[in-house]
Structure 1
Amino acid sequence: RNFQEGQFEHGDDLSAETMVDHIVDSSGACFNCIIACWNKSSIKQGPHKGISLVGPEYETLALMGTNLEIKTVEEVAFLNERCNELGMDTISLGCVLGFAIEAYQKGLIEKKDLNDINIDWGDTEEIARFIHAIAYRKGKAADILSEGVKYASEQFGNNSSSYAIHAKGLEIPGYDPRGTNGMGIAYATSDRGGCHQRAWVAKAELYDPELDRFSFEKKAKMVKEIQDERAAFFSLVLCDFAPISEEDCVEMWNHATGFDHTVDSYLKCGERIWNLIRLFNIREGLKENSDILPERFFTDSFSKGPAKDRVLSKKEFQQSIQEYYQIRGWDQKGIPTEKKLKTLGLDSYKK
């Protein structure tokens, strides 16, 4: 329900095991890849029987499934296929739909502005109709929502920004920072907003016995280091799912270019990239205090599940952001210092 609860009673019906039993036909892969990370699926029962698609993936199950209280893999697959056909991202759209339903139920959106579509939690058919309306901007509400939750909350007002789930305008994926605090730092400091691929610390938070997932301790440094590594890795145009070590990346890079990089210089390239992106964002209007999270994560607790009654401490979060800036060599406003730029060989960008 738009990140109101962290647990869904029908979660087992959206599990990988249920997908394999009900809709998955085979695995799919990019050319010559042995990982085969995607699924070729088809709906075999119900009103949408016969539809074939690639997916659903985890984020789709999270944002188009549990977040909207869609109860079966067949229904999620149907909505996924609709998004595929319309070229719509299931993470952003899932957040947009969750926001729309909540805003509608709170009276901020009138039914006449929805083209008489009665959007509600778990109503697959009405949600599918509204997806089509958003894609084609049919109706006042759909036209506004097509711009994303940040813009929509600014238009609807009435404190709706508190439950517009985004960071820097990019909707947040299926890792709630109330259950993995480090992801809150990752979302807030990401160059493009609420992205889990810039620093996916959730796995370490959940499985490393030395880390407390309900604490910000040690997370700022971890986020910074992963961001640098990912910036370098993605610049090599490698697959996010490929288990390639830093040493292997450096070896391939040196063979391809004739350079003589080490792991340290490779990671420094990632750090240089991250600082350049920060400078670019500042030049293009990134304001002080932009590294923030939705208010819901600080005020609204879960009523059930492992993270029951937990919210993020705004004081501890802000302290962690300042710690992150300090580790990066940025000032208290999040601007790279002249000293840091000089260290990275970016002197010419200091103005």
Structure 2
Amino acid sequence: MKSKMKPVRLVYSTEESVQALKSVPTFASSTLQLLGSHQSQHPYCYELMFKVGDDLRQDVLILQMFSCFNSLWLQHDLDLKLLSYKCVAAELDAGLIEMVQNASTISKIQQWYNEEKKKAFGSLSVAWSRDVIYLWLASDICNGNKPLPNEIIEKATTEFILSCAGSCVASYVLGIGDRHNDNIMVHRSGRLFHIDFGHILGRKKSKFGINRERVPLILPASFMYIINRDYEANNDQSPSYRRNFEFFKRLLIQAFMVLRDNVDMVCNMLYAMKNAGMPELKSLSDVNYVRETLFVGDTREEAEKKFVQKINDSTKSSWTVNVNWATHNYKHWK
């Protein structure tokens, strides 16, 4: 089975979890039968994906790097709400991945928006819909898509903004490619996170010699709608709009500078795996890619200025992300 084919979903329970269920009077024997089915909300079930066709050692490495980044940021009082998950490489082309519950890919969210909200017309136009993620976070999808309380929506949008900042910086520094809308997910709590790290250290996807990924940071209109809090009826000339984006930009810069200050530790983690035979980490030049993204040869002021330019380039050319996502939808939606 190649990686593009549908992986196998495994749902299981441990002997300890079954015994725990038996000790709870409210759970009858019929509940135990559910352990063999998809029960994402059940605390005693675990769900994994068995995937064949990719070297998951790269995924393991990147997830470890993300955890390292998160620890560094927390040491500087910067909680960017990075959501991680477990991954185990069983062989060179097979392994197990933890499935994050209560989360959906952006592609699935767009399908929900298209089918439930009926605010878009097919797989192409929905890629340009600005309020798609916001409405998903603001809706009780298990209760007829009724609006959630304002305090829940505010917490979810805040978590989205923080996690978006962390994910943007982490994926930029490590040069993670293939960032289509099936490789970025959003948790119901609002946390945005990336999955599937088959392309790293600047190796971007292309088609017929055309680079499909043209921006350093993934900041499409549906992200900016939440970051700028456009749902509060601000416009692009209002002081509050500018304050919202400046706050987000400051988060990006702070996260970037923390990693730059710890570039040796970041590179040492990559260097330790250089001889492991991973597909896209084979040489010192691969390791040095991170030094280039962090502008190690420049002063702090120059590095910050160059990174700000990367942010500006990403917002100005964010339409290219929409094109990439629309193309992906057209190819994969049924």
Q: Does the TM-score normalized on the shorter chain lie above 0.5?
A: no
| Normalised TM-score (structure 2) | 0.30
Q: Quick one: higher RCO (CA 8 Å, sep 6+), 1 or 2?
A: 2
1 or 2, which has the higher strand percentage? 2
| Normalised TM-score (structure 1) | 0.29
